[in-house]
Structure 1
Amino acid sequence: MATINPYLNFPGNTEEAFNFYKSVFGGEFIFLQRFKDTPEADKLSPAEQEKIMHVALPIGQGNILMATDALESMGQQLVNGTNMSIAIGADSEQEAEKLFNGLLNGGKAEMPLQKTFWNAYFGMLTDKYGVQWMINYDYPQN
């Protein structure tokens, strides 16, 4: 069964925000990756390379608060109210495709489902009601 978690986008202050959330909720980050550690790092300025590509903070029983810095140089623009997505963790590629295609009906694909450098099958879309979704299936580690 798929899991659902909130995914937040920040205009360059994800690290500050998540250190704040960590001080409120406690716990430790289970994942933190900077843009400098991605295959596209050489296309970014030194300041952008230090921004957060992905961070994850467990909150409560099985919930994970996740986020990224939205970089304008990558064509990302934030508007208050649309700076959040619902992230779905699928159990298989087939489930990811079923969920993605179902939610896409009448909506718009922002990033088609595809294999990624972080060893996942991932896609993003906005449904016909304006809700933003991220669908992710993590391939098993060898």
Structure 2
Amino acid sequence: MQVHSYLFFEGRCEEAIAFYEKVLGAKRGMLMRYGESPEPCPSGMLPPGSENKIMHGEFTLGDSMVMASDGMVSGKPKFDGFSLSVDFAEVAAAEKAFHALADGGEVNMPLGETFFAKTFGMVKDRFGMNWMVIVPKEMPKG
């Protein structure tokens, strides 16, 4: 079994994927626009001019695939109640990613050492997506 995140950017999907390519090294996969769908969307489902918005997209972060869409193109994404957690091997890489994600966003918890991490912080990016950035410490088992 695999579990994948599916993010709805409500009109900013392609911009978000490009941002994650730049700041996290994401690799873009397939993108299908609403105008490319083999079946038309039901009348009135999307605002006029949404043909070039992303119906379904995929990108990878490390070994993880993330799926994304512009959803109903409402312009109001809601990413409440969850975060994407990204592990790094090196503190410098975590710091670079954290500060890039925070650009235009909001730091919820600054990066710092914790009992479970060499560094850990939480940030909401410019798209409203919540991230936890961590360089984990080796923890005793059991």
Q: Give the TM-score normalised by structure 2.
A: 0.46
TM-score (norm 1): 0.46
- Greater share of helix: 1
Greater Rg by CA: 2
